[in-house]
Every structure is written in structure tokens, then in C-alpha cells.
A and B are shown apart, each in its own frame.
Chain A
Amino acid sequence: MGLAFLVWLLTAVILYLTARGPWWFPAPISQHGAEFDKHFTTLLWITGAIFVAAQLLLGYAIVRFKSRGQYATHSEGNNKLELLWTSATAILFIGFALAANGIWASVHLDQATEAALKIDVLAKQFSWNFRYPGPDGKLGRTDVKFINDSTGNPFGLDEKDPAAKDDVISSTIRVPVNTLVELNLRSRDVIHNFFVRELRIKQDLVPGMTIPLRFKAQKEGTYEVPCSELCGLGHHQMRTTLIVMSNEDFTRWLVDEGRKSR
């Protein structure tokens, strides 16, 4: 009996915290983020209803069928019911999987419809490096043999390549607002993960692979990027920021930095 009330109490507390608690997503800053939230909310309503129904039913059965010396009904099952709940859950659950495909595809499969600003991303234990082509619009050649962190060359830029001279290297990532950005994600040592909560995207950076990731941030601001794949003892400190700027500010920053690096 007590169990029924405890189950109901916990259900009520969970519902309350979900509906009214202060712990929630940050506001999205991209169209993808808004679509993610919409899908999440739909899912939350449906699974929430199942959750409440199942816990209520469990509690109800506990109260209703508590032993009062009654004789239990002898039933070995009901094939019609089995068929009903099997097909109902199959349709519902597989429907979930299919419904969310569009959101996934928009991040990883759809072709870009406009030219994207390309940024080279290189992660290492325990810092981030972002590389932009300078005014020449070209990324310079790199080779692992030139990598040297103490002289500030984490990418291994080849000094002899003229295109490398004006490359801009930054430890934070700056992007212009309302512009499609394509990151080329690479890691130099172990697996890391690029995660921006407000964009609702997350992607591993795997040594030996270059993984593209596109997004379009639609709100200026500064957003935290916590490494989200265990990368060693400094994992919890591997953090950078995404700075979404106006187009003018971004261009000015890039030109200034380009001058500095030359």
C-alpha cells in the first residue's frame, strides 16, 4: 500500500520538476536548435504520458489487489491483449525513430545550399585550436613534422608555403552571425568532442579522421564549448568559447588577426 503512494509521490515530484524546475536547456540559437526543442517536447509529452500511466497503473494494482484473503483470478494471459500492445508500441516507437530522422539528416546528410565559411579545428590534450584562411582565402599546407606547441604551431603549418603565412590561428572560435559555417574537425592525439549546447550539436573529433560539421548560429553572443568525450586527466578543463559576432566585427577581427600573424 505504502508503495503505491510512494510511486505516485515520486511520479508527481518528477512531473513537477520537469514542468517547473529551473534546470533546463539554454535557449537555442539556430533553426536546428529550435527544431530539436520542438521534437524533444513532443517526445517528452508522449513518453511522459506513458510514464504517468504506467506508474499510476502499477500503484493502482498494488492498492486494488492487496491481499485481503481473496482468491486470485486464474489467468494465463490474453493473446488479443498481447497483440494489441505489441503492435501499438511497435508503431509508436518505430514512429519515433522515423520522425527524428529529418533533424539528424539536416545536420549530417543534407547538402549545403550556400557557400560555407570553412574553419579548421584541431583538438589536443587539453586545448582547442581553430584555423581560418587569411585574406588570400586559402588554408596553408601542414605537416605533422612541423608541429611545435612551444613555438605556437599546433597545426604544423609549413612556413615555406605562402598560403600559410596569413592563416589565423585562435584558441576560441569566432563566427559571423547568420552565416553557414563548416568545421573540419580533427584531433591530434586522443578522441575529443565539440559540443555547443545552444546549437544542440555534438561531434567527436577522432584522430586519423577529418569530420565535417555544419551549423548556422543566428544569435550573437558567447557560448561555452566543453569537451564532451573523456580525453585524459585534463578533460574537465578542456573548454573554449564560441563567439558569434556581427559580420562587420568578424571581418575586422579576421583582418586584424591576419596582420598580427604576418
Chain B
Amino acid sequence: MTWLRTHVFSTDHKVIGKQYISLAFFSVALGIMLSLIMRFHLIRPDAKIGWFALLWPTGATGGIMTPELYLSLMTIHGTLMVFFVLTTAPQGGFGNYFLPLQIGAPDMAFPVLNMLSFWTTFLALLTLLAAFFVEGGAPLGGWTAYPPLSALGQIAGPGQGLGMDCWIVSIALFSIASLMGAINFITTVLDMRTQGMDLMRMPLTCWGWFITAIISLLAFGVLLAAGLLLLMDRNLGTSFFLPAGLVVSDQLQNHSGGSPILWQHLFWFFGHPEVYIAILPGMGIVSTVLSVFSRKPIFGYKAMVFAMFAIALLGFLVWGHHMFISGMSPYSAMTFSVLTLAVGVPSAIKTFNWLGTIWGGDLHFTPAMLFALGFVSVFVSGGLTGLFLGQPAIDLYFHDTYFVVGHFHMIMGVAAIFAMFSAMYYWFPKMHGRMMNAPLGHVHFYLTFLGVYAIFIPMHFLGIMGAPRRYSDFKELEFLADAGVLQKFTTHSAYFTAAVQLIFFGNYFYAKRRGPAAEVNPWRATTLEWQPSSRPEVHRGPDVYSLPGAREDFVMQQDKK
């Protein structure tokens, strides 16, 4: 019973943080496996694989993957990665563990709510995975679940029956869990800071988690509502997203008065801020890590905080750029375009400030630092293609092509994951009291850095050629006859990069048990999680490095002036 309370149903933020990270580890491993199967199918669509038939007796009868199976793998891949990896690890995982430690709080404001939030997320994950095992299998409509495809039921395709209901319930549960988490984070930041920890003395990581929580609170409520409406359209005969006169498989559907575009508005009102939910905590981590290993204060701390707020605010005003060609008013496209490109401004401010932080520094290339620097490179590469897609005129060609796939994997997927790797290498000594192996961390970084560019740059060229995304194979398109080499290269790069991650997992699990013991403050960092006493009084900002006249090249936050 005590064991259960300490390790399973614990209200300790550190345990809950680790639980979130374990959940993200499981999800990311599964998500990567699904993507590898998809990449394999794209280069060998006719291959007969025995164990496909074992895993999916109906989706891959005789071992040959059907298009609907491919699409359902794609849907679950996207859903796992966006929700159960990029939303849980940065915020629920590292945020839960380190926010209280960094602001000198004994725990989160509502420990029981915190536990409830994790277990609701866990339930959401089980519900999502259940979709694979129900009749018809997992849904095939992608993580965006556009109606009418998602609203019509089994008649619209296999997986659109009970599998789709599983997906919606899972997302609804996830939204509820995120709302609980958001309330907890906001209250903790506002109410639980130790003496002297003014808001403007908080580490940028805490700003990242705080602003992310505000975004979550505003965005997940809308997703929850949209999900419930969709569930009603499917099961109670309402028509929020379904117009009159739909004829599917020669059958007239009994709906009228709804609009498929309404879903897109609701979904992207959540969906775009979701991108920042995934990346803002990462931005905070990268800022901190760059500062620690450059032995320099953060360049433009205030500008960094304001930029995060600007990103959050603008993030709520740009959802329409996912809908330029959806049939909404072409006038609104112009407004959304200006606002979208305006998000580039605070993003550029952050990039300049990261360069400013390392400029003139004393750079130590630990694995955490390498991933933070890699983040900057990837963030620039993935961000600049956003300038293209943010313009309706350009989107007229690029919408729903592989260019988009390349873009968002770079900026949202890879950048956020790099930040998570950085966080893991950086905080491992604090979380587990041991050190990870640095040379292996270097190898892991270099190969991953090369690997992600090798996967996602070719996708941009496929997009320029016009390749539509969400195709289970491209055999029918003559204009892609010459693109086979890009597909093959991408697939093999994906195999390579996935294999490289075994180095990380090996390092992680070995170090957890056998790694050399860590010092209290191995990186000579300044923030509160690296000092031994609890609830210290704070006397200065989070990033005092290389202060002229100081005894050492760092001064901790609790050190008196």
C-alpha cells in the first residue's frame, strides 16, 4: 500500500514528473516504430511481411499493408507524437519535476489534482491504443480528424467507426488532464514562489512552463468542446459539422445545417497554439542550457520573456493559416497571413538572443549544450520555411504537400525533441543522482543531428515537386516517378536515426543504475534546483555568470549580495 502511494499513485511532483516522462518514452518509442513501418511501406508498398499479418489480420491480410492500415498508423503516429510526447514530456514531465524546485516551492499547488492529471492522461493513452483493437481498427483521418470523414462513421471507411470514437474520447480525456495541469502550473507560479523569487527573477524555463500553461488553459477547452460536438454528430444525430445532401456510397445521409469548416476553425484554434505548447518549454530549456554552458547571462532576459508572451498571444490569432485553401473567406486569409508572419518576429528575437547568449562566451560542449545548439540550427531551418507557408499565395501550391510535413517536423517535432534531449542530459544528475556518459551523448547528438536533416530536407523537395501528404503510396502519380530516390533516402535516414536513439536509451538506462555518482551542482549552475537546502531565500536573477569580481564564474540565486 505504501509502495503504491509512493511509486504509483503518488502526489509528489517529482514522481509524477518521472511518470509523465516514462509515458512520453513509451509513446515516442511506439510513434517512431509506426513511422518506420510507414516509411517502409512508402518505398516497398507491395512487400509481403509475415508479422504485419500477425499484428493486423484484417489491415494486412497475407502481410500486404492496405491503404487504410497505412492511414491508421499515420493517424496514431501523429496523435501520439503531438499529444502524448510533445505535450507531456516538456510540461507534465520536466515542468512538474523542476518548476517547484526552481521557484523554491515544496510541491505543486494542488498535488492531488496533479496526480489526477497524470492518471487521466494515462487513461487517454490506453483509450487511444484501444482503437487498434476494436472492429475496423484505428481511424484513418489523420490527427486533424476533419469531418465529414470523421463524422460519418464506418461508412466513410474502416476505422471511422468505433476506432474514431476511441480517438475522440482519448482526446477529450487528454484535454481534461491538460486543463487540470494548466490550472496547477499557473497557481504554482503565481502563489508558491519562495521569498525573493520575483517573477522577473524566475529562470526562463519557469516562464516557458507558465506561459504554456496559460495557452493550455485557453486552447484545450476549445478542443474538448469540439471533440464533444463531433461525438454528438456521430452518435446522437446532431449536425454541427455536417451539411445537408451528403451522399456516401449511394446513401443519402440524414443530416442538415452544419459546416465542415466549423471543425477546422475550432480544431486549429487549439491546434496552432498547441505548436507553442510543445515548443515554449523547450525554448526555456535551451535558453537556460546555452547560458549555463556559455558561462554567460541570458542575452536580453526581458526581451525573451516578452517574446514568449508575444508568441503566445499571436499564436491564438493565426489559426486560419491552416485553412487558406479550405473555402473560408479569401479576405480573412490576408489578415491571418500578416499575423502569421508577425509570429516570426518574436521567434527571430529569440534566435538573435540565443546567438547573443553564446557570443563572447566560454563554451563547454556537453551533450546538453550540443542539443541546445542543434536546437537553434533546426529552429532556424524549420522556422524559415514557415515564412513561405504563412503566405496564402504560396500556400496555394504547398498546402498539404510534403513541404508542410518537412516544415512542421523540423520546427515542432525535431526542435522540441532536441530541447527534451538537452533537458534530459542537463537534469539527469539531479533526477537520478548519477551522470550519463558524455562521449556516448556526443555520438548520439552528432548522428541524430545529421539524421534529422537527412530525413526532413528531402521532404521539402518532394513538396516542391507537389507530392501530396497522406498518400499510402505514390505509384499512381506519374510526376513523382523520379522522386523514388528521395523516398528511399528519407526512409533509410529514418531507419538510421531511429537506430541511433538506441544509444540514448542504452546510455539512459545504464546510467540510471550504474552511472558514476553526480555532485550536487555538476554544471556549476545558478538556479535553485542545484542547491541542497529547501525553500531558500532568493537574492538575484537566474543567470549570473562570469560576474566581474565574483569569486567564481557563477553566483547562485540564493547567494546574498
By a CB distance below 8 angstroms, the chain B residues around A14 are: 381, 453, 457
By a CB distance below 8 angstroms, the chain A residues around B303 are: 77, 82
B325 located at the interface, meaning its Cβ lies under 8 Å from any Cβ of chain A in the complex:
yes
By a CB distance below 8 angstroms, the chain A residues around B221 are: none
Range class of the B interface residue count: 35 or more
A236-B476 in contact (CB<8A) = yes
Q: How far is the CA of A33 from the CA of B376 in the complex (A)?
A: 34
B296 located at the interface, meaning its Cβ lies under 8 Å from any Cβ of chain A in the complex:
yes
By a CB distance below 8 angstroms, the chain B residues around A86 are: 345, 348-349
B439 located at the interface, meaning its Cβ lies under 8 Å from any Cβ of chain A in the complex:
no
Q: How far is the CA of A108 from the CA of B352 in the complex (A)?
A: 37
| Cβ-defined partner of A89 (8 Å) among B249, B344, B476 | B344
A226-B461 in contact (CB<8A) = no
Give the residues from 168 to 194 in chain B that come closer than 8 angstroms, CB to CB, to chain A. Answer: none
B244-A3 in contact (CB<8A) = no
A58-B373 in contact (CB<8A) = yes
A43 located at the interface, meaning its Cβ lies under 8 Å from any Cβ of chain B in the complex:
yes
Give the residues from 214 to 250 in chain A that come closer than 8 angstroms, CB to CB, to chain B. Answer: 224, 226-237, 239
By a CB distance below 8 angstroms, the chain B residues around A237 are: 476
The chain B residue sitting closest to A73, CB to CB, is B360
Q: A26-B479, A75-B299, A237-B476 are in contact. Are A17 and B461 (CB under 8 A)?
A: yes
B356-A77 in contact (CB<8A) = yes
B358 located at the interface, meaning its Cβ lies under 8 Å from any Cβ of chain A in the complex:
yes
Q: How far is the CA of A26 from the CA of B394 in the complex (A)?
A: 15
A21 located at the interface, meaning its Cβ lies under 8 Å from any Cβ of chain B in the complex:
yes
By a CB distance below 8 angstroms, the chain A residues around B148 are: 189-191, 207
| Cβ-defined partner of B248 (8 Å) among A50, A93, A125, A203 | A125
Nearest Cβ on chain A to B74's Cβ, whole angstroms: 9
Give the residues from 81 to 102 in chain A that come closer than 8 angstroms, CB to CB, to chain B. Answer: 81-82, 85-86, 89-90, 93-94, 96-98, 100-102
By a CB distance below 8 angstroms, the chain B residues around A206 are: 260-261, 326-327
A197-B387 in contact (CB<8A) = no
Q: A97-B337, A211-B327 are in contact. Are A228 and B400 (CB under 8 A)?
A: yes
A141 located at the interface, meaning its Cβ lies under 8 Å from any Cβ of chain B in the complex:
no
Nearest Cβ on chain B to A14's Cβ, whole angstroms: 6
Give the residues from 298 to 337 in chain B that come closer than 8 angstroms, CB to CB, to chain A. Answer: 298-303, 325-327, 330-331, 333-334, 337
Q: How far is the CA of A53 from the CA of B468 in the complex (A)?
A: 31
Q: How far is the CA of A181 from the CA of B44 in the complex (A)?
A: 40
By a CB distance below 8 angstroms, the chain B residues around A138 are: none
| Cβ-defined partner of B334 (8 Å) among A104, A190, A230 | A104
Nearest Cβ on chain A to B320's Cβ, whole angstroms: 13
B1 located at the interface, meaning its Cβ lies under 8 Å from any Cβ of chain A in the complex:
no
By a CB distance below 8 angstroms, the chain B residues around A39 are: 393-394
Q: How far is the CA of A201 from the CA of B333 in the complex (A)?
A: 15
A75-B149 in contact (CB<8A) = no
- For B465-488 the 0/1 string (1 means CB < 8 A from A) is 110101111101111001100100
A103 located at the interface, meaning its Cβ lies under 8 Å from any Cβ of chain B in the complex:
yes
Q: How far is the CA of A236 from the CA of B157 in the complex (A)?
A: 14
B67-A234 in contact (CB<8A) = yes
A190-B156 in contact (CB<8A) = yes
Q: Which of B298, B345, B355 has the most CB of A within 10 A?
A: B345
Q: A25-B466, A85-B352, A189-B248 are in contact. Are A94 and B338 (CB under 8 A)?
A: yes
A204 located at the interface, meaning its Cβ lies under 8 Å from any Cβ of chain B in the complex:
yes
Q: How far is the CA of A55 from the CA of B387 in the complex (A)?
A: 17
The chain B residue sitting closest to A23, CB to CB, is B461
B462 located at the interface, meaning its Cβ lies under 8 Å from any Cβ of chain A in the complex:
yes
Nearest Cβ on chain A to B80's Cβ, whole angstroms: 18
A75-B479 in contact (CB<8A) = no
A57 located at the interface, meaning its Cβ lies under 8 Å from any Cβ of chain B in the complex:
yes
Interface window among A113-121, A144-152, A168-176, A252-260: A144-152
A104-B370 in contact (CB<8A) = no
Nearest Cβ on chain A to B471's Cβ, whole angstroms: 4
B56 located at the interface, meaning its Cβ lies under 8 Å from any Cβ of chain A in the complex:
no
A23-B465 in contact (CB<8A) = yes
The chain B residue sitting closest to A108, CB to CB, is B330
By a CB distance below 8 angstroms, the chain A residues around B53 are: none
A21-B476 in contact (CB<8A) = no
Give the residues from 370 to 404 in chain B that come closer than 8 angstroms, CB to CB, to chain A. Answer: 370, 373-374, 376-377, 380-381, 384-385, 387-388, 390-397, 399-401
B399-A202 in contact (CB<8A) = yes
B507 located at the interface, meaning its Cβ lies under 8 Å from any Cβ of chain A in the complex:
no
A3-B373 in contact (CB<8A) = yes
B141 located at the interface, meaning its Cβ lies under 8 Å from any Cβ of chain A in the complex:
yes
A78-B300 in contact (CB<8A) = yes
B106 located at the interface, meaning its Cβ lies under 8 Å from any Cβ of chain A in the complex:
no
Q: A75-B299, A201-B396 are in contact. Are A239 and B477 (CB under 8 A)?
A: yes
A72-B349 in contact (CB<8A) = no
Q: Which of B299, B330, B393, B468 has the most CB of A within 10 A?
A: B393
By a CB distance below 8 angstroms, the chain B residues around A191 are: 146, 148-149, 260
B245 located at the interface, meaning its Cβ lies under 8 Å from any Cβ of chain A in the complex:
yes
The chain A residue sitting closest to B252, CB to CB, is A144
A72-B247 in contact (CB<8A) = no
| Cβ-defined partner of A71 (8 Å) among B244, B258, B362, B364 | B362
B356-A81 in contact (CB<8A) = yes
B238 located at the interface, meaning its Cβ lies under 8 Å from any Cβ of chain A in the complex:
no
A62 located at the interface, meaning its Cβ lies under 8 Å from any Cβ of chain B in the complex:
yes
Nearest Cβ on chain A to B167's Cβ, whole angstroms: 14
By a CB distance below 8 angstroms, the chain A residues around B146 are: 190-191, 229-230
B243 located at the interface, meaning its Cβ lies under 8 Å from any Cβ of chain A in the complex:
yes
B465-A25 in contact (CB<8A) = yes
B344-A71 in contact (CB<8A) = no
| Cβ-defined partner of B337 (8 Å) among A57, A77, A100, A147 | A100
A24 located at the interface, meaning its Cβ lies under 8 Å from any Cβ of chain B in the complex:
yes
B338-A97 in contact (CB<8A) = yes
Q: How far is the CA of A100 from the CA of B330 in the complex (A)?
A: 13
Q: A55-B377, A144-B252 are in contact. Are A190 and B349 (CB under 8 A)?
A: no
Interface window among B24-32, B277-285, B543-551: B543-551
By a CB distance below 8 angstroms, the chain A residues around B360 are: 65, 72-73, 75
Residues of B within 8 A of A (CB): 66-68, 71, 140-142, 146, 148-149, 152, 156-158, 242-250, 252, 258-261, 294-303, 325-327, 330-331, 333-334, 337-338, 340-342, 344-345, 348-349, 351-353, 355-356, 358-365, 370, 373-374, 376-377, 380-381, 384-385, 387-388, 390-397, 399-401, 446, 449-450, 453, 457, 461-462, 464-466, 468, 470-474, 476-479, 482-483, 486, 545-548, 553
27 contacts between A and B (CB under 8 A): A14-B381, A23-B461, A36-B396, A54-B355, A57-B355, A62-B358, A65-B360, A73-B361, A75-B297, A76-B300, A81-B352, A82-B349, A82-B353, A90-B345, A100-B392, A101-B393, A105-B330, A124-B247, A145-B252, A197-B466, A203-B325, A207-B245, A209-B261, A228-B400, A235-B470, A239-B476, A239-B477
Beyond the given pairs A3-B373, A55-B381, A204-B326, 13 more chain A to chain B contacts, judged by CB atoms under 8 angstroms and listed by A's residue number, are: A23-B462, A23-B465, A43-B394, A47-B384, A61-B358, A69-B362, A73-B361, A82-B353, A188-B248, A202-B400, A226-B466, A233-B71, A233-B158
